[in-house]
Amino acid sequence: MSNNKTCCFTGYRPQKLPFGFDEDDIRCKMLKQILRKDIIHMIEDFGVTHFISGMALGVDTFAAEIVLEMKAKYPQVQLECAIPHETQSKHWPELSRNRFFDLVSRCDTETLLQTQYTTDCHQRRNRYMVDQSDYVIAVWDGQAGGTESTVRYARKCKKNVLVINPRELTKTKAYA
């Protein structure tokens, strides 16, 4: 990889977001707007050209869609889809699967971390993304779980972490 900067995303699946699966909810629209502004900030102010999404439902999907939108204005921007295992979307609803495959088909790089599901494959994917990144944008309100362990790992690795609280729609920066 070149000297270009990289940013990855970590955040909640719809079940943990205050608006659930309702993307028409004003809180979801506001969260996406905050993500969009922060992605633009990463591109314009920090020279980020490479973004990595873990491709889970919820925040990962929102971020991937926004990065792909940004390519019209910022053609240097690239999206990498970091997929934890081949069957990630197998049990998702059909519309969610179609959305997943559409995003993967439009990304610049598809990284499949392993073929089979294992109990630690999502954690391995998250560590891969943090290890590749200079910056991490996390949609997290302090709850225990995968996002929390990813933020903790990123901070341990002295990565620059921007946390967006999905309940309060506030941000905290924890640049290393």
**38-92 pLDDT tens trace:** 999 999 999 999 999 999 999 999 999 999 999 999 999 999 999 999 999 999 9
For residue 172, the SS3 value is strand
Residue 55: name the closest of 127, 115, 18, 110 by CA.
110
Q: What is the mean pLDDT of residues 114-139?
A: 97
CA atoms within 13 A on the CB side of 87: 5
Supply the mean pLDDT for the chain: 95
pTM of this prediction? 0.95
Span 17-35, pLDDT tens digits: 999 999 999 999 999 999 9
CATH number of 5-174: 3.40.50.450
**Domain residue spans in the chain?**
5-174
Q: What percent of the chain has pLDDT over 70?
A: 97
Q: Is the pLDDT of residue 129 over 70?
A: yes
Q: What is the mean pLDDT of residues 130-158?
A: 96
DSSP category for residue 87: T
- State the Cα–Cα distance between residues 42 and 134, nearest whole angstrom: 10
